[in-house]
């Protein structure tokens, strides 16, 4: 850690807040002009600013899962091209084995020069709709090789001297089910990078290159200080947790994961030793992502307001043995690592913290983002379409109140694909969006409820699903009960009704990771999302809250008896 | 009939601006707001002026009644009837959460509780064709249940009703048959546009506010009549136009941003007197600052408004960016040792330390006092003595934690609060492709003119103007409003093969609807002005840009111009455009303005003395103490010039003129225009 010249605290605060402002403006551009619904409607992207040594100094806060991963991307670009990428060049990459997390997160890196000198990097990452591979939306939970997960771009120049490199763009366009999104999405990322360039230049014009560099250095120290202060407030100790990933999509067996979290004064050591080896299916998670999971999992309890930058990484040491599910090698498939395994990392962190700070911890939220996607295939007519949804479940109960109902999980903060827009654009009817009674884990403060969400296909389609927490529901804490696991049903309410993932009526567990499930025109599929885990002894729940739950159908009479050991005397 | 009266209800004060049409004299008055019944405050402030009620020809009134009711959860029990399967769409919202990393966060309570949401079978597709017929038995059953509960406000919202309102209208008819006492409103009538969440939420708000707003208006009307007023009462809408008391009862959602709209209109009209058509409005009060943009004399409109987290109300309103920075904002040091200001505010009670009402936390007002910008003896015309020593102590203690002395700390507090406000100004100028150097900043509200020059310097705004009576500008804006409505229409076409006849017909149909709405209000309009806007985007995009039409009746040349303007605007805002890409039109908007009267001018009173400083004080500028002259605004005559450093005081505001700046009193209306000294180095 170099010690910068002394900056007065006022200038520092002013320049530091500009780093956040610049990335906020980048995100505004990306969202407003992109073509992929998953970017403009569901907001699955992040934008960041790095100093000239490729250290993260500012990031927009849409998607925590990108917290450390963006950092690895910039490093991968520099490793390939050296730290003298010329002005006007832009590098694109998505390779999970070279700084990426999963193929669908496409990252653009552009150096920012001021007065001919490399001063910073701007970085824009978005989840694209489709990059080929075995299944629509490139979501294949049955992949056994990363080649099945779509086009894998190593760090490569997509702009040179301010001009697009058509050869690369042509290759990308040829390797997607949605070529019509490509030009608009590239334009949106370039717009975001240009936005960063414009505001960064203005900042340096105003405060001078040296002051801005000093403030970049100091902003890392500043976040480090705040993070260390927060760690100091936790009790020293060694805390362990164990959990299971439901299955890997290939083998219907739970996958053991474990963490040892050590708090020592103002440092944290997180050790994944003992977790399962790399598995056959795509729930492996490259280390860039695993580290992100640790950082954002901790951030909920370590000064959430501190500006997100690489100063936060400094007091946190992470040990991930090679060839485990948290540190795979090529060619292991990885797509759902970024979702299911990422959330599992945070669950492990939180379950360790339950032992350290029981009065502050909250129940586990529903799981990953429950991605479901549909492919509309009509190759004879030269049409192909793919779209999906990320239906959330409930959050865990907290020491202060019930968990949020049906709200996007920790690793991201995506929005819905609005039903009327989905119907306008795709051959589908959105038939249901309702809370599930009794799905929240019981507790003094119960978990939030999940939802039931259904789609009716107006054309033949294929269905892909990658849900976690369908075998074991989201655990409660401090005596709270688990939330209800998720499941998925075809043709509900008809004679052909069939559970196709999760526990069947007979109690058999079917994996909720599959792809290319055939749906015929007119069929309806219904996803039941998970409830959050409860907090505290259900017996201590107050009577008014119970009455309100019954009135609004969040808890049924049966549920009250089963989960709370009570009968409704009022009604 | 002699007086026109504008009244603005704020959080602390109810402000009045009255204009005597015979003498041209104007009256400003304020009286405390009365949250227990806001109408009391309105009558109090009129009583205070002594204007006879029978002499008032029009009252135009901005009110926060609607907004407060929603925020405080203070509205009638409301039921919602929607498509089977979609009971929880309005509560689920758009999935996302407000704070990224807060494990304890909660979402706001839904306006309609789950047990008051009902579903009925029946479904339309995206073209409005019937997939499942409306189940009338379901509707009857639901109507009976709601009737049994005694809920009188009922909103109906069904999927895809923006393309076909038949199911909603039929359901309304059935419910009204079963339950004639109920107020039933359909989403297709309130906001016929795509996006169920926004359409339903707006409809629910309409139903929830119907009784409350109706009762408020009727009671106010009755009490005004009792006192002898028997002319027109208008209400201020969020779009910067007025609406009659009769009509607003059916459209209470248009009042949600009624408060800030008056200030924006006030800034437009005072701006014209100083030849400013491109204005950033800067309304800084005790807890927050409202910022908006005026271009070419027109306020910037948006449909991105949310009344609370995930509760969109996508009707066209004046875009106002509100940030938690005001005179009462508290300065504090975070766990990393950095100085922060706000968003927490000391409010009016206990208020800043210097109020001496028990406030312990140092605030922006305390910093202004220490630096000599406020006068402990002359605050609010001397009605309130300020505790300078208390403020000094609090700020010195804060500074010790950072190793800064008291003056550095006070300066730092202003630096940071100004930076926060400057970032907000940048967000709606630079962030939307506008160059702040093309704008003047209009400063009003209690603290606006204290900070305006500092904020403008940070952003590069060349001119600040402080209109007369900056504390009453919202009420002044209210008095100058015309009737206005916005009609939006769905129109979807690639611009290449646009059907001009169909588009002009659609506009004509929308204009007709808007005109009818104005004429039906019987408010003696002199003329009706119509403006057209078109929403455009690249094919494949989801968000549109709204581009103004060059003329009312569109020709091929006009659509070519629209296309050029679209590419240019896109480049300006997003730093990219692509003239090769296809562009489509998605929506049309017609604004109809019923012009009631010519704008009135503010006449300021003047004492005989002229341009004589009332006081010389020590104030801090550029890290040193400087002799600073203080002027009474009443003694400043048109055309006079005051050089910084200087302070101009008036009853409800103080204007700080930094060194290197000059303040000119505008000939036309006595606005203070502040700019750099010609040839000055600053």
Is beta strand B78-83 parallel, antiparallel or unpaired with respect to B153-157? Answer: parallel
Q: Does B492 touch chain A (CB under 8 A)?
A: no
Tokens representing residue B451 in the block: 């900070």
Q: Please give, rounded to a whole number of angstroms, the shortest distance from the CA of A443 to a CA of chain B.
A: 15
Length of chain B: 682
Across A326-343, average pLDDT: 94
State whether B581 and A184 contact (CB < 8 Å). yes
Beta strands in B613-660 (DSSP E): 615-621, 624-632, 641-643, 646-650, 653-657
The alpha carbon of residue A146 is apart from the nearest alpha carbon of chain B, in Å, by 30
Alpha-carbon gap, residue B452 to B444, rounded angstroms: 9
Q: Which of residues 189-208 of A touch B (CB under 8 A)?
A: 190-191, 194-195, 198-199, 202
d(CA B146, CA B142) in angstroms, rounded, equals 6
Helix (H) or strand (E) holding B458: helix B448-459
Q: Nearest-CA distance from A89 to chain B in Å?
A: 16
User: Alpha-carbon torsion B207, B209, B215, B221, what sign?
Assistant: negative
Taking CB atoms and an 8 Å limit, are A421 and B340 in contact across chains?
no
Say yes or no for a CB contact (<8 Å) between B131 and A429: yes
Banded model confidence at residue A571, pLDDT cuts 50, 70, 90 = very low
B576, A190 Cβ separation under 8 angstroms: yes
N-to-C CA span, chain B: 51
Taking contacts as CB-CB distances below 8 angstroms, the residues of chain A near B340 are: 13
Report whether pLDDT(A519) > 90.
yes
Q: What are the beta bridge partners of residue B309?
A: none
Mind spelling out the 3-state secondary structure of B294-307? Answer: EECCEECEECCCEE
Share of residues in chain B with pLDDT > 90 (%): 63
CB contact under 8 A, A230 and B335: yes
Residues in chain B within 8 Å Cβ distance of A184: 538, 540-541, 581
Select from B388, B396, B413 the least CA-distant residue to B330.
B413
- The minimal CB distance from A198 to the residues B196, B337, B575 is found for B575
* Chain B nearest C-alpha distance from A62 (Å): 8
Is residue A140 within 8 Å of residue A515, measured between CB atoms? yes
**B88 vs A230: CB contact, 8 Å cut-off?**
no
Residue A533 DSSP one-character state:
P
**Full DSSP string of B264-310:** HHHHHHHHHHTT--SEEEEEE-SS-EEEEEEETTEEPEES--EEETT
Yes or no, beta carbons of B126 and A25 under 8 Å apart: no
The mean per-residue pLDDT over the stretch A413-441 comes to 94
Rank A241-250, B342-351, B462-471, B572-581 by mean pLDDT and report only the highest.
A241-250
Quote the distance between the C-alpha of residue B271 and its chain's center: 17
CA B39 to chain centre: 21
Q: Does A400 touch chain B (CB under 8 A)?
A: yes
Q: Which residues of A touch B160 (CB under 8 A)?
A: 420, 423
CB proximity list for A366: less than 8 A, separation 6 or greater: A392, A393, A394, A395, A409, A450, A469, A474, A483, A486, A529, A530, A531, A532
Question: Which residue in A has a C-alpha nearest to residue B87's C-alpha?
Answer: A434
Q: Is B578 or B49 the better-scoring residue by pLDDT?
A: B49
For residue A170, what are the contacts with CB-CB under 8 A and spacing of at least 6?
none
Residue where the block lists tokens 């028997």: B230
CA–CA distance from A172 to each of A179, A181, B104 (Å)? 8, 11, 42
- Give how far A447 is from chain B: nearest CA, Å: 12
Answer whether B159 touches A (CB < 8 Å). Answer: yes
Cβ contact A413–B100 (<8 Å): yes
* Nearest neighbour of A21 by CB, restricted to B97, B115, B423: B423
Give me the residue from A396, A400, A408 closest to B96, CB to CB. A408
Percent of chain A with pLDDT over 70: 97
Average pLDDT over residues B141-150: 98
d(CA B463, CA B456): 8
Average pLDDT of the segment spanning B166-174? 98
| pTM as predicted | 0.91
Question: Would the CB atoms of B337 and A43 count as touching at under 8 Å?
Answer: no
Cβ neighbours of A230 in B, within 8 Å: 335
> A275 and A256 in contact (C-beta within 8 Å)?
yes
Could you tell me which of B429, B478, B347 has the C-alpha nearest to residue B45? Answer: B478
Does A184 sit within 8 Å of B540, measured CB to CB? yes
Q: Give the closest-approach CA distance of B583 to chain A in angstroms.
A: 12
Q: Is the CB of A413 less than 8 angstroms away from the CB of B97?
A: yes
Q: Say what the pLDDT of residue B543 is.
A: 82
Closest residue on chain A to B89 (Cα) = A433
- pLDDT of residue A481 exceeding 70, the answer is yes
Contact B101 A299 (CB under 8 A): yes
> Nearest-CA residue of chain A relative to B458?
A206
Mean pLDDT of B278-297: 92
Minimal Cα distance from A363: which residue of B?
B103
> Could you say which of A33, A190, A418 has the minimum Cβ distance to residue B195?
A418
Q: List the single best residue of B332, B335, B422, B430 to mutate versus A (max A Cβ within 10 A).
A: B335
Max Cα distance, chain B (Å): 81
Instruction: Name the average pLDDT for chain A.
Output: 92
Q: Given this model, what pLDDT does residue A414 score?
A: 87
Tell me how far apart the alpha carbons of residues B526 and A368 are, in angstroms, rounded to a whole number. 61
Task: Return the bridge partners of A527, or none.
Answer: A453, A488
CB-CB under 8 Å, A416 with B95: yes
Q: How many CB atoms lie within 10 A of CB B577?
A: 19
Is residue A405 within 8 angstroms of chain B, CB to CB? yes
Classify burial at A381, counting beta carbons within 10 Å of its beta carbon; exposed 0-12, middle 13-18, buried 19 or more: exposed
pLDDT at residue A13, rounded to an integer? 80
Other beta carbons within 10 Å of A237: 12
Instruction: Indicate the helix (H) or strand (E) that contains A158.
Output: strand A156-160
pLDDT at B430: 77
Contacts of residue B404 in chain A, CB cutoff 8 Å? Answer: 9
- Residue B682: which pLDDT band, with cuts at 50, 70 and 90? very low
- A508's CB contacts (< 8 A; 6+ apart) are none
B590 Cα to chain A: minimum distance (Å)? 24
Range name among A37-46, A314-323, A326-335, B114-123 with the lowest pLDDT average: A37-46
* Interchain proximity A187–B578, CB inside 8 Å: yes
Report whether B553 contacts B504 (CB < 8 A). yes
Taking the CA atoms of B667, B670, B673 and B678 in sequence, report the sign of the dihedral they define.
Answer: positive
A40/B contact by beta carbon, under 8 A: yes
Would the CB atoms of A194 and B575 count as touching at under 8 Å?
A: yes
Q: Which residues of B608-622 are buried (b: 16+ CB within 10 A; e: fewer)?
A: eeeeeeeeebebbbe
Contact B419 A13 (CB under 8 A): yes
Give the A window 347-386 contacts with B, CB below 8 Å. 362
Angle of helix B166-178 relative to helix B136-149, nearest 10 degrees, comes to: 50
Task: Single out the residue of A562, A533, A556 nearest to residue A444, CA to CA.
Answer: A533
Of A41, A181, A419, which is closest to B540 when you measure between CB atoms? A181
Lowest mean pLDDT segment, chosen from A185-189, A358-362, B522-526:
B522-526
Bridge-based pairing state of the strands B545-548 and B463-466:
unpaired
How many interchain CB pairs under 8 A, A with B? Answer: 204
For residue range A93-141, list pLDDT tens digits in order. 999 998 788 889 999 999 999 999 999 999 999 999 899 998 888 889 9
Q: Which residue has the higher pLDDT, B489 or A381?
A: B489
Backbone angles phi, psi at B530, to 5 degrees: -120, 135
As a whole number of angstroms, the distance between CA B619 and CA B624 comes to: 8
For chain B, the C-alpha Rg in angstroms (whole number) is 26
Of B89, B101, B538, the CB nearest to A433: B89
pLDDT of B680 higher than 50: no
Tell whether the model's pLDDT for residue B681 goes beyond 60: no
Q: How far apart are the first and last CA of chain A?
A: 66
Interface of B with A in 342-361 (CB under 8 A): none
Q: Mean pLDDT across the stretch A275-298? A: 95
Asked if B194 has any chain A CB less than 8 Å from its own CB, the reply is yes
Nearest to A420 among B105, B194, B538 (CB): B194
| CA distance to A108, A179, A530, B290, B330, per residue, from A174 (Å) | 19, 7, 38, 49, 57
């Amino acid at each position: 850690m170099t010690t910068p010249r002394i900056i007065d605290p006022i200038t520092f605060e002013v320049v530091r807040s500009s780093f956040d402002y610049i990335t906020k403006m980048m995100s505004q551009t990306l969202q407003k002009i992109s073509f992929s619904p998953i970017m403009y409607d569901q907001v699955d992207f992040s934008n960041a600013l790095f100093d000239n040594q490729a250290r993260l100094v500012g990031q927009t806060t849409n998607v925590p899962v990108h917290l450390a991963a963006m950092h690895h991307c910039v490093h991968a670009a520099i490793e390939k091209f050296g730290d003298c990428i010329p002005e006007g060049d832009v590098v694109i990459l998505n390779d999970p084995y070279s700084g990426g997390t999963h193929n669908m997160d496409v990252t653009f890196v552009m150096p920012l020069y001021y007065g001919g000198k490399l001063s910073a990097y701007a970085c824009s990452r978005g989840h694209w709709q489709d990059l080929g591979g075995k299944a629509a939306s490139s979501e294949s939970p049955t992949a056994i090789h990363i080649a099945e997960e779509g086009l894998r771009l190593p760090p490569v120049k997509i702009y040179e001297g301010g001009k697009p490199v058509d050869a690369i763009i042509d290759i990308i366009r040829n390797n997607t089910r949605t070529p019509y999104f490509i030009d608009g999405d590239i334009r949106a990322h370039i717009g975001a990078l240009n936005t960063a360039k414009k505001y960064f230049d203005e900042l340096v014009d105003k405060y001078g290159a040296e002051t801005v560099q000093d403030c970049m250095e100091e902003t890392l120290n500043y976040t480090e200080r705040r993070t260390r202060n927060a760690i100091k407030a936790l009790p020293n100790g060694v805390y362990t947790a164990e959990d299971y990933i439901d299955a890997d999509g290939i083998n219907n067996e739970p996958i053991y994961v474990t963490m040892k979290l050590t708090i020592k004064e103002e440092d944290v050591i997180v050790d994944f030793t003992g977790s399962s080896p790399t598995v056959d299916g795509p729930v492996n998670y490259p280390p860039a992502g695993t580290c992100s999971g640790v950082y954002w999992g901790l951030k909920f309890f370590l000064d959430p307001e501190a500006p997100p930058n690489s100063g936060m990484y400094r007091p946190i040491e992470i040990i991930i043995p090679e060839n485990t599910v948290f540190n795979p090698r090529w060619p292991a498939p990885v797509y759902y690592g970024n979702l299911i395994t990422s959330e599992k990392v945070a669950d492990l962190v939180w379950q360790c913290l339950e032992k350290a700070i029981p009065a502050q911890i909250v129940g586990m939220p529903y799981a990953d983002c429950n991605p479901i996607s549909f492919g509309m295939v009509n190759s004879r007519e030269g049409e192909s379409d793919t779209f999906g949804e990320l239906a959330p479940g409930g959050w865990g109960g907290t020491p202060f109140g019930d968990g949020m109902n049906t709200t996007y999980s920790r690793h991201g903060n995506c929005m819905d694909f609005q039903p009327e827009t989905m119907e306008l654009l795709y051959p589908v009817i959105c038939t249901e969006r309702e809370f599930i009674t009794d799905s929240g884990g019981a507790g003094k403060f119960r978990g939030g409820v999940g939802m039931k969400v259904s789609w009716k296909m107006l054309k033949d389609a294929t269905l892909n699903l990658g849900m976690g927490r369908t075998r074991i529901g989201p655990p409660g804490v401090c005596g709270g009960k688990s939330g209800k696991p998720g499941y998925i049903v075809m043709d509900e309410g008809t004679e052909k009704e069939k559970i196709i993932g999760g526990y069947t009526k007979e109690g058999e567990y079917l994996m909720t990771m599959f792809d290319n499930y055939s749906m015929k025109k007119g069929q309806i599929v219904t996803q039941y999302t998970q409830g959050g885990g409860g907090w505290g002894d259900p017996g201590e729940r107050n009577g008014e809250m119970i009455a309100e739950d019954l009135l609004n159908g969040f808890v049924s009479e049966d549920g009250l008896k089963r989960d709370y050991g009570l009968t409704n005397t009022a009604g | 009939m002699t007086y026109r009266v504008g009244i603005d209800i704020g959080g602390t004060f109810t402000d009045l601006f009255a204009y005597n049409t015979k003498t041209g004299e104007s009256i400003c008055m304020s009286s405390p707001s009365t949250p227990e019944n806001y109408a009391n405050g309105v009558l109090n402030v009129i009583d205070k002026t002594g204007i006879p009620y029978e002499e008032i020809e029009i009252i135009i009134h901005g009110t926060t009644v609607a907004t407060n009711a929603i925020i405080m959860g203070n509205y009638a029990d409301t039921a919602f009837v929607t498509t089977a399967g979609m009971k929880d769409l309005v509560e689920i919202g758009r999935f996302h959460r407000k704070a990224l990393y807060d494990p304890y966060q909660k979402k706001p309570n839904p306006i309609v509780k789950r047990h008051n949401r009902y579903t009925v079978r029946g479904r339309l597709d995206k073209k409005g064709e019937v997939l499942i017929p409306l189940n009338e038995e379901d509707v009857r059953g639901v109507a009976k249940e709601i009737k049994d509960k005694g809920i009188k406000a009922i909103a109906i919202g069904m999927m895809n009703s923006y393309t076909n309102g038949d199911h909603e209208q039929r359901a309304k008819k059935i419910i009204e048959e079963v339950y004639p006492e109920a107020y039933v409103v359909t989403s297709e009538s309130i906001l016929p546009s795509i996006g169920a969440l926004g359409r339903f939420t707006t409809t629910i708000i309409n139903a929830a506010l119907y009784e409350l707003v109706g009762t408020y208006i009727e009671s106010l009307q009755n009490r005004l009549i009792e006192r002898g007023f028997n002319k027109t009462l208008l209400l201020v809408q969020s779009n910067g136009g007025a609406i009659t008391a009769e009509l607003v009862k059916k459209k209470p959602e248009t009042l949600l941003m009624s408060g800030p709209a008056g200030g924006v209109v006030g800034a437009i009209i005072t701006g014209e007197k100083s030849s400013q058509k491109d204005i950033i409005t800067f309304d800084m009060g005790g807890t927050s600052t409202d910022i908006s943009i005026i271009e070419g004399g027109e306020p910037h409109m948006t449909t991105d408004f949310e009344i609370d987290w995930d509760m969109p109300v996508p009707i066209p309103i004046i875009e106002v960016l509100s940030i938690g920075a005001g005179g009462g904002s508290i300065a504090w040091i975070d766990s990393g040792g950095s100085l922060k200001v706000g968003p927490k505010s000391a409010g009016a009670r206990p208020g800043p330390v210097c109020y001496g009402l028990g406030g312990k936390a140092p605030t922006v007002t305390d910093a202004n006092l220490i630096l000599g910008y406020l006068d402990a003896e002359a605050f609010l015309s001397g009605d309130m003595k300020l505790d300078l020593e208390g403020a000094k102590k609090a700020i010195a203690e804060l500074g010790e934690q950072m190793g800064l002395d008291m003056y550095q700390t006070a300066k730092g507090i202003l630096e940071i609060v100004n930076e926060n406000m400057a970032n907000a100004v940048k967000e709606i100028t630079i962030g939307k492709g506008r160059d702040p150097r093309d704008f003047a900043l209009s400063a009003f509200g209690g603290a606006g003119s204290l900070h305006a020059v500092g904020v403008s310097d940070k952003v590069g705004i060349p001119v600040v103007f402080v209109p007369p009576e900056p504390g009453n500008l919202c009420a002044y804006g209210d008095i100058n409003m015309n009737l206005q409505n916005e009609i939006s229409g769905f129109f979807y076409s690639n611009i290449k093969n646009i059907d001009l006849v169909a588009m002009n017909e659609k506009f004509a149909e929308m204009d007709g609807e808007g005109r009818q709405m104005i004429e039906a209000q019987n408010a003696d309009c002199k003329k009706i002005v119509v403006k057209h806007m078109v929403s455009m985007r690249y094919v494949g995009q989801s968000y549109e840009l709204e581009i103004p039409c060059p003329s009312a009746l569109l020709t091929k040349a006009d659509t070519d111009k629209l296309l050029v303007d679209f590419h240019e605007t896109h480049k300006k805002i997003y730093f990219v455009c692509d003239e090769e890409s296809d562009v489509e039109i998605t929506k049309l908007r017609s604004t109809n303005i019923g012009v009631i009267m010519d704008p009135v001018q503010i006449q300021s009173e003047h004492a005989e003395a002229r341009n004589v400083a009332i006081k010389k004080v020590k104030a801090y500028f550029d890290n040193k103490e400087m002799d600073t002259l203080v002027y009474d605004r009443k003694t400043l005559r048109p055309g006079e010039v005051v050089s910084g450093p200087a302070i101009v005081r008036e009853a409800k505001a103080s204007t700080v003129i930094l060194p290197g700046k000059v303040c000119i009193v505008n000939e036309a209306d006595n606005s203070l225009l502040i700019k750099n000294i010609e040839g000055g180095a600053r």
